[in-house]
Amino acid sequence: MRREAGMVWLIGAGPGDPELLTLKAVRALGEADVVLVDDLVHRGVLAYARPGARVIEVGKRGGCKSTPQAFIQKLMVRFARRGAVVARLKGGDPFVFGRGGEELVALRAAGVVAEVVSGVTAGIAVPAALGIPVTHRGLARGAIFVTGHAAADDEPDWEQLARCGLTLVIYMGVARLASIAGRLQAGGLPGDTPAAVIQNGTLSNERSSVTTLEKLPVAARDFGSPAIVVIGEVARLAGVAREARRLAHAA
């Protein structure tokens, strides 16, 4: 499908494993003349770009500073106005802590046609890789996706979240777990609530620790970004899935 005018696809590339790309993401990527790729996107995904497509890295890899958001938006507008089909590849889902909403608003304001291709978000797929369902009949009637990395005056109300009775799925929280776990306990969430931290989920270098809320800060001490933290009864199921896998291997 070639287009007369340019446009932008805001594409979710999934949490890591390139096999978690959607068919639509693969098709949109294959149409693009220009690919703007974020940090967390597995480079294996670029295999689906058109040969000869221009690939521009806009993430922090290699220790460089990330490209400012305003500049990325300008680039997309500029390329699309010149008639290019642009693929903006983001980790996970573009609308979950991905600034995809901001980009869509900016593109539309500039009169650029933009479409969103949803991706598999880390907050669901990474716990799932351990066998943790974020909702589970009898254990959790819902899940909350929350950022652990927010400005001091804009922090989630952890004491209130402690009382919601739902699974807490924390993105970008691994560096601040001591404070987060402390506030959740202060809010009344028992220290023995099951919890898990998973770094590089769905990738070959995935690592995880299944523990309890009170032990979480210590268990996660040497975990770095990107990591997802899950707090709630559902984290118990990680052990069950693991044990089942171990028995399956032994059989």
Q: Which residues are catalytic?
A: 38, 60, 172
The nearest distance, CB 100 to ligand SAH, in angstroms, is 8
The answer to whether residues 107 and 100 touch, using CB atoms and an 8 Å cutoff, is: no
| H helical segments located in 48-176 | 69-81, 100-109, 122-129, 158-161
The nearest distance, CB 129 to ligand SAH, in angstroms, is 8
CB atoms within 10 A of CB 33: 18
The nearest distance, CB 132 to ligand SAH, in angstroms, is 12
- φ and ψ at residue 185, rounded to 5 degrees: -70, -40
Give the residue with the Cβ less far from ligand SAH, 44 or 190: 44
Give the residue with the Cβ less far from ligand SAH, 83 or 101: 101
Using CB under 6 A as the criterion, which residues of the chain lie in contact with ligand SAH when the complex forms?
15-16, 40, 90-93, 96-98, 121-122, 126, 171-172, 198-203, 225-228
The residue to which tokens 């899935």 are assigned: 241
The residue to which tokens 């268990």 are assigned: 219
User: CA 46, 52, 53, 55 torsion: positive or negative?
Assistant: positive
Q: Which residue is nearest to ligand SAH (CB)?
A: 92
**What does the DSSP 8-state code read for residue 174?**
G
Widest CA span in the chain: 60
Give the residue with the Cβ less far from ligand SAH, 199 or 209: 199
The nearest distance, CB 183 to ligand SAH, in angstroms, is 18
Give the residue with the Cβ less far from ligand SAH, 26 or 203: 203
HSE-CB of 212 using CA atoms within 13 angstroms? 8
